[in-house]
């Protein structure tokens, strides 16, 4: 049983001991814990996530970039959908692909902000299987970054206990490239894991691949590196703190303590004295793919999106 699957297997245990003093988990300790069901679905889970709607969340953004804080906006779109294991794309006809069909939690993370005269638009898409016992790794994650200088695209695909990474960039030193790295926990999958695992993450030291946005902004190659995850709690909020041990980067995620474990806010600190911060403005559930007419623009107002 590989390291990441072993880590996921302790999630149920941590949800039970969450009110006790926090305990860190070493690799040796993880290996001694028996495998168990990781993501048991419930009527509550099924009613919410298989309702034919997506969960749409808008956030006020303060983005650190080029030594200054920029104001912007983030939208997180969570939705379940059928996904091809082999092709790693959404299935058009899932009823015809029984052996190649896995249900995933998809997160589209859309981040927009301005830098002086020009703007940034960033989309990260992450596809994490609902059944983490059978499919313990996020199958695919990619990020596109567009700004007036040009754009970059990075994609990770899970295959044979590795992530195949393809990167395309207008920067000479960064692209176009293709490489493989051993599988590890993705920073980009933390939010989908929280939603799937009753608001919990594995605690302690773990190999983690930092986010594709940080990788591009800091010009660091994607690779597994040691990080430590800890948590604190109030009556209504669980806060996860992720500290990279060899990089000057910390991430904090505030999570609703009760189902459906919404992401309330998060911060990113890269050691430059400027903190990126996103705070929830509004959350609604809508079948947005069917809301394409002019009259549906009223939903943008309900979601409190910037005009």
Q: Per-domain residue ranges for the chain?
A: 3-302
Query: What rounded mean pLDDT belongs to the chain?
Result: 88
193-208, pLDDT tens digit by residue?
Answer: 999 999 999 999 999 9
Percent over 90 (pLDDT), the chain: 81
Would you place residue 127 in the very low, low, confident or very high pLDDT band (cuts 50, 70, 90)?
very high
Residue 12 has pLDDT above 70, yes or no: no
Would you place residue 97 in the very low, low, confident or very high pLDDT band (cuts 50, 70, 90)?
confident
**Predicted pLDDT of residue 41:** 67
**Predicted pLDDT of residue 34:** 26
Residue 228 has pLDDT above 70, yes or no: yes
Please compute the mean of the pLDDT values over residues 64-85 and round it to a whole number.
Answer: 97
Q: Which residues contact 226 (CB under 8 A, 6 or more apart)?
A: 205, 206, 207, 208, 244, 245, 246
Range from 85-99, 101-115, 188-202, 257-271 carrying the lowest mean pLDDT = 85-99
How far is 11 from 248, CA to CA, in rounded Å? 27
Q: What is the dihedral of CA 60, 127, 31, 22, to 10 degrees?
A: 20
Is there a contact between 91 and 97 (Cβ–Cβ < 8 Å)? yes
**Predicted pLDDT of residue 96:** 84
How far is 56 from 285, CA to CA, in rounded Å? 6
**Predicted pLDDT of residue 251:** 98
Residue 16 has pLDDT above 50, yes or no: no
Q: What is the dihedral of CA 125, 46, 33, 186, to 10 degrees?
A: 10
Residue 20 has pLDDT above 80, yes or no: no
Residue 128 has pLDDT above 70, yes or no: yes
Please compute the mean of the pLDDT values over residues 131-153 and round it to a whole number.
Answer: 95
Query: Secondary structure of 33-91 in the HEC alphabet?
Result: CCCCCCCCCCHHHHHHHCCCCEEEEEEEEEEEECCEEEEEEEEEEEEEEEEECCCCCEC
For the chain, how long is the longest CA-to-CA vector? 57
Locate all alpha helices (DSSP H) within the chain, ordered by sequence. 3-8, 11-17, 27-31, 43-49, 190-196, 212-218, 298-302
Residue 11 has pLDDT above 90, yes or no: no
**Predicted pLDDT of residue 95:** 86
Would you place residue 10 in the very low, low, confident or very high pLDDT band (cuts 50, 70, 90)?
very low
**Predicted pLDDT of residue 121:** 98
**Predicted pLDDT of residue 63:** 98
**Predicted pLDDT of residue 83:** 96
Range from 132-136, 226-230, 290-294 carrying the lowest mean pLDDT = 132-136
């Amino acid at each position: 049983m590989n390291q990441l699957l072993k880590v996921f297997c302790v999630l149920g245990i941590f949800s039970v001991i969450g009110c006790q003093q926090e305990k860190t988990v070493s690799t040796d300790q993880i290996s001694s814990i028996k495998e168990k069901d990781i993501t048991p679905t419930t009527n509550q889970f099924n009613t919410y996530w298989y309702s034919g709607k997506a969960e749409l969340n808008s956030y006020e953004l303060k983005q650190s970039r080029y030594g200054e804080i920029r104001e912007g906006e983030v939208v997180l779109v969570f939705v379940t959908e059928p996904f091809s294991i082999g092709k790693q794309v959404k299935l058009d006809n899932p009823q015809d692909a029984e052996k190649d069909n896995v249900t995933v939690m998809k997160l589209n993370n859309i981040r927009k902000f301005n830098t002086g005269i020009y703007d940034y638009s960033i989309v990260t898409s992450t596809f994490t299987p609902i059944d983490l016992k059978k499919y313990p790794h996020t199958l695919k994650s990619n990020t596109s970054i567009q700004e007036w200088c040009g754009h970059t695209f990075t994609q990770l695909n899970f295959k044979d206990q590795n992530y195949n990474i393809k990167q395309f960039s207008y920067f000479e030193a960064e692209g176009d490239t293709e490489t493989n790295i051993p599988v590890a926990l993705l920073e980009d999958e933390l939010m989908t894991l929280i939603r799937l695992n009753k608001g919990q993450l594995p605690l302690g030291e773990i190999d983690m691949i930092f986010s594709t946005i940080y990788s591009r902004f800091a010009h660091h190659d994607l690779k597994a590196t040691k990080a430590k995850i800890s948590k604190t709690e109030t009556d209504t909020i669980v806060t996860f703190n992720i500290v990279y041990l060899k990089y000057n980067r910390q991430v904090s995620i505030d999570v609703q303590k009760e189902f459906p474990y919404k992401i309330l806010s998060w911060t990113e600190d890269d050691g430059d004295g400027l903190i990126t911060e996103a705070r929830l403005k509004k959350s609604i559930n809508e079948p947005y793919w069917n809301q394409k007419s002019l009259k549906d623009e009223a939903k943008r107002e309900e979601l409190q999106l910037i005009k």
